[in-house]
Amino acid sequence: MRLNNKKMMVLLGCALAALSTVTASAQMLINGAGATFPYPIYSKWFNEYAKVDPSVRFNYQSIGSGGGQAQILAETVDFGASDGPMSDEKLAKAPRAIWHLPTVAGADVITYNLEGFPKLQLDGAAIAGIFLGKITKWNDPAIAGQNPDAKLPDSDIVVVHRSDGSGTTYIFTDYLCTVSSTWKEKVGKGTSVSWPTGLGGKGNEGVSGQVKQVPGSIGYIELAYAKQNHLSYADVKNAAGSYITPSIESVTEALASATIPDDFRFSMVNSPGAKAYPIAGATWLLVYAEQKDHAKGEKLVQFLKWAYSDGEKLAPSLDYAPLPDSVVSRALERVQRIKY
């Protein structure tokens, strides 16, 4: 029996569709959720790793560090992600031990929307005053005094902050606690806090969008988002008294002087380094030390080994600081102890 060309094309199409379905179903899906801060680098890693191991696919939901911590505790994901380390209280609620695996470090930048895009310099007192709602005008002496050459308007400051649980917020509020006793007493630090003033935006994306659209606004976002959205951001006075531009180099300097304990939960804000950017922090993947699913656990460990050996090299291209070799070797040792 002969088939005409039309029937042959239909049969060929059906065969290709069936093959595609089999290939897709053969792919293992590993689910993760959490921090928006490292989303650009994680997306890059997952795309690159698909070329290394086509049998596995990563589905990462950028929902904020608070969500990442909650979902790993609930075991609704295979890994979580957070820019703020989990507290002892939260870790105690986990069914098994959760390990913090640091991946990269980055900067929280103070971004703003002012006519003429002046380059601003800000110290901790001014930043805390703005986010406390005590400094409300752009030409306030606390800002103007540090920026004598900038044409600052006599207009209201519109504060924008995160509305979701966020590791970016944890880093920012951790910093504010070190430079303002008032902030430490009245607001404190955390992935989510009770903001004294301002508008909320979901994710780094939401805050970036608000600042971009609202004249006179100011917010805090991860450096990569500021660059991607062509937003202005301030130089910030560090613990050594110098105004520092957020960059890979200044974050690396902050990371180099951080004390990193065995459980990898550490802070690097307001580092004493002479050229260290003060609002910097690491980000972590949250994984169970004992994996419930053997196959997924094995694939996850293989990915983590690749991330530390090859993925770290991609960090600078997306404005993240890679971990020092000494920290990478410690993290790899921890990865090799994950049981599946």
> Tens digit of pLDDT for each residue in 217-251?
999 999 988 988 899 999 999 999 999 999 999 99
7 domain residue, yes or no: no
Pair of tokens at residue 105? 């470090």
CATH code (residue 90)? 3.40.190.10
> What's the pLDDT at 18?
42
* Phi and psi based region of residue 319 (left: phi greater than 0; alpha: psi -120 to 50; beta: remaining): left
- Domain shared by 128 and 55, yes or no: no
Task: Please compute the mean of the pLDDT values over residues 325-335 and round it to a whole number.
Answer: 96
Residue 20 domain-assigned (yes or no): no
Q: Are residues 252 and 133 in the same domain?
A: yes
Q: How many CB atoms lie within 10 A of CB 86?
A: 23
Output phi, psi for 339, to 5 deg: -100, 135
Q: Are 81 and 35 in contact (CB under 8 A)?
A: yes
The percent of residues in the chain predicted with pLDDT above 90, rounded, is 84
Helix axes 167-179, 65-74, angle to 10 degrees: 120
Residue 11 falls inside a structural domain: no
Average pLDDT, integer, range 153-182: 95
Q: Are residues 132 and 267 in the same domain?
A: yes
Q: Is residue 118 domain-shared with residue 258, that is, in the same domain?
A: yes
- Model confidence band, residue 288 (pLDDT cutoffs 50, 70, 90): very high
**Domain end residue (candidates: 237, 265, 280):** 280
Residues 92-118: what's their mean pLDDT?
97
Q: Compute the chain's Rg from CA coordinates.
A: 23
Do 111 and 171 lie in one domain? The reply is: yes
Count of domains forming the chain: 2
80 plus 111 within the same structural domain: no
Is residue 329 in a domain?
yes
Inside any domain, residue 136: yes
SS3 287: strand
Q: Which of 119, 120, 110, 217 is nearest to 171 (CA)?
A: 110
Statement to judge: residues 125 and 267 lie in one domain:
yes
- pLDDT reported for residue 15: 45
List the domain range (segments joined by +) for residue 260.
107-280
Instruction: Please indicate, yes or no, if residue 2 is contained in any of the structural domains.
Output: no
Does residue 47 belong to any structural domain of this protein?
yes
Please indicate, yes or no, whether residues 255 and 276 belong to a single structural domain of this protein: yes
67 shares its domain with 36: yes
In a domain, residue 32? The reply is yes
- 76 with 184, same domain? no
Q: Both tokens of residue 207?
A: 């805050």
| pTM higher than the cut 0.85 | no
**Domain shared by 209 and 235, yes or no:** yes
Residues 121 and 210 grouped into a single domain: yes
Q: How buried is residue 178: exposed, middle or buried, by Cβ count under 10 Å (0-12/13-18/19+)?
A: middle
Binning pLDDT at 50, 70 and 90, where does residue 27 land?
confident
Give the count of beta carbons closer than 10 Å to the beta carbon of residue 14.
10
